[in-house]
Amino acid sequence: MSDHGHHIVASYDRDLEAIQAMIMKMGGLVEAAILDAATSLERRDEELAESVRRGDKAIDNLEEKVNEECARVIALRSPTASDLRTVLTVMKISGNLERVGDYAKNLAKRTSVLVQMQPVEGASGAIRRMAKTVEGMLKDALDAYIQRDAELAQDVRMRDHEVDQMYNALFREFLTFMMEDPRNITACMHLHFIAKNIERMGDHVTSIAEQVIYLSTGVMPEDDRPKGDRTPFENIEVDE
């Protein structure tokens, strides 16, 4: 390879490293947002909830930067097929991270409403456990991306079923609370939307894992992952 060719490869590698650093920073912010949003609900901490809501802007800004850098690399570097796959995968991962951040922000918004209401026994702890499960999936999905580990990504993909089962259990629990005491209805509806937001987070994290599998193997998973969300509200529109 000529010196010019080496220079192009080195420049491209530097560009990818910079984009990858942004993705990991974005992932760290999203992981923190998930846990902080759930913690704010459990502790009835409006200040922490507000911090999550404000922090979403930084996540949005990083997604914009990632997209701009990816577009610049495509325009200037003319990447090969495999390198183009990397750039496009990164764009999709950043989009999924941004959506998870939005759901964390929405969770924090409802926390600010719920602190004004009578707590529903055991609900905030169950929500936190569900959020912690999704945060763990996201951490592993990002590790799988860095390591190009299709096996770890597949493990993340399968764990989404656990999140769906947790959501279904919470849904049934909230229905019971509402039937037992109509005064619980408003709080339980807010809690249901929170649980649904977290379930949707799991779907986006699973999408990240599937992109990692595609990046590592060149093939998207064809088998349908087990889907445990079978409540009457499985297609309900949640906060965007």
What average pLDDT does range 169-176 have in this prediction? Answer: 95
The crossing angle, in degrees rounded to 10, of helices 150-180 and 185-217 is 170
Has residue 109 been placed in a domain? Answer: yes
Rounded Cα distance between 41 and 124, Å, is 6
List the domain range (segments joined by +) for residue 108. Answer: 3-217
Query: Does position 4 have pLDDT exceeding 50, yes or no?
Result: no
Has residue 238 been placed in a domain? Answer: no
pLDDT digits (tens, 9 = 90+) for 90-116: 999 999 999 999 999 999 999 989 999
First to last CA, the chain: 49
Rounded Cα distance between 192 and 166, Å, is 12
- pLDDT recorded at residue 50: 97
Here the CATH number for the domain that contains residue 21 is 1.20.58.220
Rounded Cα distance between 17 and 61, Å, is 18
Check if the beta carbon of residue 33 is closer than 8 Å to that of residue 76: no
- pLDDT recorded at residue 2: 46
Query: Does position 158 have pLDDT exceeding 90, yes or no?
Result: yes
Number of separate domains in the chain: 1
Has residue 229 been placed in a domain? Answer: no
Has residue 80 been placed in a domain? Answer: yes
* Phi, psi (degrees; rounded to nearest 5) at 222: -95, -30
Has residue 231 been placed in a domain? Answer: no
CA distance readout (Å), 181 to 120, 175, 177, 184 = 11, 10, 6, 6
| Lowest mean pLDDT segment, chosen from 26-30, 65-69, 160-164, 225-229 | 225-229
Check if the beta carbon of residue 94 is closer than 8 Å to that of residue 161: no
- pLDDT recorded at residue 221: 86
Q: What is the mean pLDDT of the chain?
A: 89
Query: Does position 239 have pLDDT exceeding 70, yes or no?
Result: no
| Lowest mean pLDDT segment, chosen from 83-87, 137-141, 209-213 | 83-87
Residue ranges of the alpha helices (H) in 44-80?
46-77
- pLDDT recorded at residue 109: 95
pLDDT digits (tens, 9 = 90+) for 12-66: 788 889 999 999 999 999 999 999 999 999 999 999 999 999 999 999 999 999 9
Has residue 239 been placed in a domain? Answer: no
Rounded Cα distance between 188 and 122, Å, is 12
Query: Does position 148 have pLDDT exceeding 80, yes or no?
Result: yes
Has residue 22 been placed in a domain? Answer: yes
Has residue 211 been placed in a domain? Answer: yes
Check if the beta carbon of residue 37 is closer than 8 Å to that of residue 52: yes
Query: Does position 222 have pLDDT exceeding 90, yes or no?
Result: no
